[in-house]
Structure 1
Amino acid sequence: MTSAAGDAVDAFTPEDLTVALLLGSLVLVVAVVAVRLSLRSGLPSLLIYLGLGLALGESGLGIRYDSEQLTQSLGYAALVLILVEGGITTRWSGIRASVAPAAVLATVGVAVSVGVVGVVAHLVLGWSWEVSLLIGAVVASTDAAAVFSVLRRVPLPRRVSGMLEAESGFNDAPVVLLVTALAAQLAPGQEAEPWWRLLGTAGLELAGGTVVGLLVGWVGARVLRVVATTSSALFAIGVLSVAVLAYAAADSVHTSGFIACYLAALLLGNLDLPHRPSVVGFATAVGWLAQIGLFVLLGLLASPSGFADQVVPALVVGAVVLLLARPLSVVVSCTPFRIGWRVQAFLSWAGLRGAVPVVLATVPVTAGTPGVSWMFDLVFVLVVVFTLIQAPTLPWVARRLGLDAAHHQVDLAVDATPLSDLGADLLEIDVGPQSRIGGVRVFELRLPPGANVALVVRDGGSFVPRDLDVLRHGDQLLVVAPAGVRRQVERRFHLVSRGGRLAEWAGGPDPDRRRARPPGRPAVRRHDPDAPD
């Protein structure tokens, strides 16, 4: 007995497999090489991956691909993996102070942005209210992949980078719900629901997804601890599987799977599970693979012949998002938390759009919304143009606003040495051009007992430092610290970076918090780019 599906399977021969593997492996190799170009140019690698997809598509090598339904399904799968990677690699200590404003920015801020874009698009471009609000919802979400990519190379204070990380992890869920609801209402035969019912439904789904994500993450962590094996690779697979399970479990009960998988991954990544370096390394690799596949797929789906007609509308909508909607949403969301104007200005400029809006642009088509086939081309052009404008200028904007961190701290995943079994952490510290660590001798860092600068990388070479060696700007330090004093080591580097060798001897208070002031004493203003203005 044969069928159409069986014929299609039989038609895929070993020769076809060879061609698919050849093209796929070449794309991955070029994508890996492109990361170096991305780091040098300051552009997110997503643009290069989109270019690869366009080069392979109908206007390049001639590969024909036009399935919005498959793109949406694969796009959602890739977004799940990207969010899981973001949750696992995010330290709770780095975003704890930023969770509340980031959550408001991902909900109230999204609503403000959708409203502003909808009003301007209706008045300036003449679109109907329904279509204007739909396009506002599609472009409302910042992209986790783009944000995480930029944060890897822009040294920012922890509060600022934490807010961007948390927002990009949170805002996909409400935006997906909003776009799906608006697109469904525009489909033939559907009646429009009142706005308050839409908001109520979205709130319930987000709350349900939050509960499911935290529950699955907590139960999964307990199970993984019990069945943990000596194989770090198998354990890493188990951790990612639990996070993906959170998405499926939440979506199956009609709650937000995106918020569930992100929160489950965030919980798993901060419970000090064994084999953390291997888990982080595996999650990062899977996240990169998902990004590459997603952006190449979106490039394949795009049709350059339709770009020209959408350039002007894309520029109008993008300008509204960048110069009006995003700043207003930041002001509304962050002002109640007494976040200073410099941080708000940077957050306004750093709202990068990427794969999420492009994937969401396929939702109206798959939902049967009539007359919106142009939306994918518009969003594609918008993302490319404004990524070219925003991403390369972010380091300059951070410096002009005084928000570039004097030193940059990076976690390293080391597999060759089982540091987790030894109860130790390995940190990388980049000494920036304005850091007062430059000129300080190693012993003057006064690190907590057990913590040592194990290696200094300088001018292309490296050496094991002695106590009297002087650190310089541009040095990269590898610091080994017992897990119990990691926080003290981080705090000590912040203090020395700001105060130099005469920084408080005992380690002092957390630099992210304001010093308590005795009653009656006037406040002394300190230059702290991370503090509210």
Structure 2
Amino acid sequence: MEKVCIILAALIFSSIYSLKLSKKFNIPTLIIYLGVGMLAGSEGFGGIEFDNAGLAQFIGNLALCIILFSGAYNTDIKEVSAVKKEGLALAFAGVFFNTVLVAVPIYFFTPFDFFGALLFGAIVSSTDASAVMSILSFGGLNIKDKVRGILKLESGTNDPMANVIIILLINIIKLGNIGIIQGLVFLSLQILVGAVAGFIFSKLTVKFINKFEIKMQELHQLIILGSILFTYGFTNILKGNGFMAIYILGITLGNTRLSYKRNMGRFFGSLSWMVEVGMFVMLGILVFPSRFLAIWKLGLAVSLVLIFLARPLSVFITLSKSGLDKREKLFIAWGGLKGAVPIVFATFPLVEGIVNAELIFNLVFFVVLLSVIFQGMTLPFASSYLGLKETKSKVFEKGDLENLEYFEESLVKVKVRNEGEVAEKKISEIGLPKDILLILINRKGKHILPKGDTVIETGDELYILGESSEEIENYITKALETINSTDEKQQA
């Protein structure tokens, strides 16, 4: 037990330090975590024996739910709305084209049969949100908003499409009697049921939170965590795609007015980071590096086909009518990083006992390593070479309220009583001292920015800021006896 705790602590500290290395040397954090896992595995210094593909798939799916939800929750719908056509086209049509373009050479030059080649193509077709964001955000790569938005939207939404195609192909390989019409219906229902289920469960989650009026942010976090697990599981029972439901759940909740919304974003961001590190290390332990010696030539050839042929062609075909210029399309093609998602998807054939499943897994792992190293480390150069690096600093940026935490002891929430003289008066008429500010009014769930001519109504909750909470309470007691200040202090 003690050794496990020390190992976990070392992983946490090393993951934080790896951010600094990632930014300094343009090394995607994914490659560091996978490397740690391989070193900790049975063929590394750690000697940890782990070859349970079923358990790895289970843990990987749960981790992907958290990572996918966090990315969607922290996505501003306004940021991606301008590029929704391009991003969604790459997420759906782009995945299909990429699958076919990879499958053709795989079928003719490898041991895979037709559907096995398609299965491999589908597994490596999705870009990885974690790998992309580790470069765009944590790596400090500042590119033009339009291109950034397309890459973010694509990487967050193409996993469900790839997952659906993989499930369909595995069923075809195992059952062998699924027709084209039946397959298209399956694909459509998976996506549609997943999207509708995610939207419905997001609305139910908001109603649940609002109905019970829970004031503890920790319970809000647990409610949403429970909603993630329930949405994924129940959507799969309904024969929908759980990952699609999770993405819709996250982006809907993230763009809905909720209490403690910013803190929940931070919580799920931290949780996502933790499960991401654990998942990458686990996948690194699962692989046997010595087996790369037998497939490195084939792996290199497949990687070159994917990076220089399939991905660029799928991007240019999909975005042919988008209005993007050649430089932007080239960068989007180069920015299609692979990551943990294809590796998790590569465990599906292993669990289902598909022919050549072990070869698929090792090839996918090898392709991911080359993609992350080769493409990930050269993205900053590519953005500069193609003239897409943003050189102008933004005049306005979203504020970070963490630096205002010291105000939390100086912020008091009070409620206006119906028998008081303050009710039905303008703010300018109640004589607030200069060193006390009324910063917000909550009126039946609607937030109002107060002005001098704003009329205070009975039942309003007033958020008052001063030098200290004691100063505000003294003022309320002496000068505003018409306000019921028995409510608790509001933690900012």
Q: Could you say which TM-score interval applies, normalised by the shorter chain?
A: 0.7 to 0.9
The aligned counterpart of 1:179 is 166
- For 1:358, the equivalent position in structure 2 comes to 343
Structure 2: segments with no counterpart, 5+ residues: 409-446, 450-492
**CA distance in structure 1 between the partners assigned to 2:266 and 2:332 by the alignment:** 28
For 1:410 and 1:285, the matched residues in 2 are separated by 22
Conserved? CA contact 1:275–1:420, under 8 Å = no
Structure 1 residues 284-433: aligned runs within 5 Å: 284-405=269-390, 406-407=392-393, 411=398, 413-415=400-402, 417=404
Query: For 1:483 and 1:363, how far apart are their aligned partners in 2?
Result: 51
Q: How does 1:166-315 map to 2 (within 5 A)?
A: 166-187=153-174, 190-315=175-300
Identical aligned residues as a percent: 28
Are 1:164 and 2:144 matched, yes or no?
no
Note if contact 1:251-1:257 (Cα within 8 Å) is conserved in structure 2: yes
Shift of 1:304: 1.0
- Contact conserved, 1:281 with 1:413, CA < 8 A, in 2? no
1:63 equivalent to 2:48? Answer yes
For residues 146-178 of structure 1, the C-alpha deviation after alignment (integer angstroms, 9 at most, x for no partner) is: 112122022122221111111111111111121
1:47 to 31, 47, 56: 31
Match of 1:404, as an amino acid? K
Judged with a 3 Å threshold, the aligned counterparts in structure 2 of structure 1 residues 228 and 373 are, in CA distance, closer, same or farther, namely same
Q: Provide TM-score, normalisation by structure 1.
A: 0.72
- Give the Cα–Cα distance (whole angstroms) in 1 for the partners of residues 215 and 293 of structure 2: 56
Residue 340 of structure 1 and its aligned partner are, at CA, apart by: 2.2
Match of residue 84 from structure 2: 99
Checking the alignment, whether the CA contact within 8 Å between 2:168 and 2:186 is kept in structure 1 is: no
Paired letter, 1:49: Y
Cα RMSD, aligned residues only: 2.2
Deviation at 1:192, TM superposition (A): 4.1
* Residues 57 and 348 in structure 2, CA contact (< 8 A), matched pair in contact too: yes
In structure 1, distance between residues paired with 2:223 and 2:388: 38
The alignment covers a number of residue pairs equal to 406
Q: 1:186 to 1:420 in 2, by over 3 A?
A: farther
- What is the TM-score with the length of structure 2 in the denominator? 0.78
Q: Report the structure number with the largest CA radius of gyration.
A: 2
| Aligned amino acid, residue 372 of structure 2 | T
Per the alignment, do residues 81 and 483 of structure 1 end up closer, same or farther by CA in structure 2, a change over 3 Å counting?
A: farther
Aligned to 1:510: none
Match of 1:26 among 10, 16, 28: 10
Pick from 101, 115, 135: which aligns with 2:120?
135
Cα deviation for residue 401 of structure 1 reads: 1.9
Secondary structure of the corresponding residue to residue 373 of structure 1: helix
SS at match of 1:417: helix
- The letter for the 1-side match of 2:144 is P
Q: Is the 8 A contact 1:277 1:414 kept in 2?
A: no
Q: Deviations over 1:223-274 (max 9, x none)?
A: 3234444433332333343344322221121101101111111111111322
Alignment check: 8 A CA contact 1:232 1:275 kept: yes
Q: What is the CA distance between 1:195 and its match in structure 2?
A: 3.4
- Structure 1 outlier segments of 4+, above 6 Å: 418-421
- In the alignment, residue 257 of structure 1 is paired with which amino acid? G
Q: Secondary structure at the match of 2:151?
A: helix
1:395 aligned partner, one-letter code: P
Deviations along 1:453-512, whole A, 9 cap, x unmatched?
xxxxxxxxxxxxxxxxxxxxxxxxxxxxx999xxxxxxxxxxxxxxxxxxxxxxxxxxxx
1:466-481 matches, cutoff 5 A: none
> Is the CA contact (8 Å cut-off) linking 1:327 and 1:348 kept in structure 2?
yes
Give distance in 2, aligned partners of 1:302 and 1:141. 20
1:200 Cα deviation after fit: 2.2
- 1:407 deviates by 2.6
Residues 1:314 and 1:89: Cα distance change in structure 2 (over 3 Å): same
